[in-house]
Amino acid sequence: MNVSTSKQYINGEWREGRSEKTLENYNPYTNDLITTIRSANETDLDEAYQAAEQAQREWVKLSPADLQQHLQNLLQVMKEEKETIVDWLKKEAGSSATKAEIEYGAALGITQEALSFPTRVSGTIFPSNIPNKENYVYRKAKGVIGVIGPWNFPFHLSMRSVAPAIASGNTVVIKPSSDTPVTSGMLLGWLFEKAGFPKGVVNVVVGRGSEIGDAFVTHPTVEAISFTGSTEVGRQIAVNAGQHLKDTALELGGNNAMLVLDDADVDAAVDAAIFGKFLHQGQICMALNRIIIDTSIHDEFLEKFTERTRSLPYGDPFDSQNVVGPLINQGEVERLQKEVNQAVEDGATLEVGGKHEGNVFEPTILSSVTSDMEIAKNELFGPVATILKAQGEQEAIDIANNTIYGLTGSVFTRDQFRGMNVARQVETGMIHVNDQPVNDEPHVAFGGEKHSGLGRFNGEWALDKFTTTQWVSVQSQNREYPF
C-alpha cells in the first residue's frame, strides 16, 4: 500500500476531488513537481463532514480499551513507516534530517500521550442544596472536529490535534496546507487507514482556502476548529467561527525573544540560539526572532554567535550534513529578502549571510537592530537572527514585551531564580530559562498570549478543548415545589 498523493480521503475511500481547479505540489529545494491534485469543492467537504458525523455516532460508543487498541495500532504503523514519514518531510516540507527526526518524534509523542485519553475522560459528582438530589457532571466528546494543518511542521502539528481528538471520542476532517498536502493531511489519512480505523473517523479534503476555507469553518456539522498558522488567517477563522458559535483552538504567529542577561553563560546561550533560530530554517512559530543581549556581554556574544552561524552547512535537505534547507516557496524567499534589505537601509548591520540561492536563504545575522525597525516587529519565519542591545534587566524585559505577539521565549542567566522572576514578567504563553524557545512536550500546556493564539494544546488542555461537559441531576424522591 503506497501513500496516495493525488486524491481526497473521504469515508474510507480515496477519490478524485470534484473541483475544476487543481493544486500543484512542488519540492521546495529542487522545484520539481511532486504531484498534481484535483481539489475538493464544497460538495466533497460536505460529504466528508457527513461521513465524520455518521462515524462518530458509533466511534463514541467504543470502550476505552477499544479506543486504545486503535491508537496502539496507529503507533505501530507510525513506527513501521518512519522512513516513509521522514522521507516525505524532506522532499515536501524541505526538512533537514535533524528536523524530520525531531518532528517524527514529536508526532509519536503526542500519539502516545493521546493513548491515555480514553481513560481520562472523567466526570464529577457534586452535592445539591435541594433535598434528595445528586448532580453529575459528565465529560463527553464534542462530535466532529475540523483540523487545518500548517506547512512548517506539517505532520506533527496536524497529528497534535487529530490524535487527541479521536482519542476523546470525536471524529475528524483534515484540511491540509496547500504547500504540504501530503505531510499535513494525506499521509495521516493513509496511516489511519493502514492502522484499520473505521471509515469516516478520519477524512482528508485537499483544497485551497479560497474555495473551501470558509465552508470548512462554518459547516453546520463541525463543532470545533483547530488551526495552526498565521495570525492574519487565524483572525479570520476566529471571526467566521464566532459568527456560528463554534469553538476554536488557534496557535498563531510569534515574535519570540531570547533575553541574555549580564550574568549569562555566553557559550551556552550561543549554543541555544543556534538551535532555536536555525532549526528548520527558522520556519517555526517558536523560533527565535529577536536576541536581546545585555550591553556588558553583547560583543562577546555577537562574535561567537556570528562565528558559529558562518560555519552552519546549508542546502539540500537530503544531505544529512546540512542543518538549514530551503524555505517553503519562492514567495517566502522574496519576502524575507525584502525584510533584510529594508533592515540594512534602516541602519542594521549585516554580520553574515543576507543572500539566497534558489529557495535556500543563507543563515543570516543582523546586529544594531532596534525595536522601532520593521524587522523587529515582524515574524520572520526564516533563517535571519536580529540582535538587540539592552541596558540592564528591565530594559530587556521591556524590549521583549514590545510586540503584539506572545507565544514563547527564553531567558539566560546563571541565577535560576532570577531567570524565573524575569520569565514571569515576559508576556508570553511559554518561556524557558537557560534553554531556547523551541520546546514542545506532549503533556505540557502549549499556546500563546496576545496575537499568538487562543487556547492550549497537549495533555489535559487538549482533552478540555476536544470535550464538553453536561450536567445531569437526579431527584431520588419527589420534590416539593412552592406552587
Q: Which three cell numbers stand for residue 61?
A: 460508543
pLDDT digits (tens, 9 = 90+) for 316-349: 999 999 999 999 999 999 999 999 999 999 999 9
Predicted pLDDT of residue 156 = 98
pLDDT digits (tens, 9 = 90+) for 55-112: 999 999 999 999 999 999 999 999 999 999 999 999 999 999 999 999 999 999 999 9
Contact 330, 26 (CB under 8 A): no
Residues whose CB is less than 8 angstroms from the CB of residue 147 and which lie 6 or more positions away in sequence, other chains included: 158, 161, 162, 165, 172, 173, 174, 175, 225, 226, 227
Domains and CATH numbers, the chain: 8-252+452-471 (3.40.605.10), 256-433 (3.40.309.10)
pLDDT digits (tens, 9 = 90+) for 214-240: 999 999 999 999 999 999 999 999 999
Which residue in the block uniquely carries the three cell numbers 520593521?
374
Contact 221, 244 (CB under 8 A): no
pLDDT digits (tens, 9 = 90+) for 441-456: 999 999 999 999 999 9
- Which residues carry out catalysis? 251
pLDDT digits (tens, 9 = 90+) for 253-275: 999 999 999 999 999 999 999 99
Query: What pTM, to 2 d.p., does this model score?
Result: 0.96
Number of C-beta neighbours around residue 462 at 10 A: 29
Predicted pLDDT of residue 1 = 64
Q: Which of 353, 381, 356, 382 is nearest to 367 (CA)?
A: 353
**Taking residues 370-386, what's their average pLDDT?**
97
Contact 111, 92 (CB under 8 A): no
β-strand pairing of 384-390 with 364-367 = parallel
Task: Using the predicted structure, report yes or no on whether residue 472 has a pLDDT greater than 80.
Answer: yes
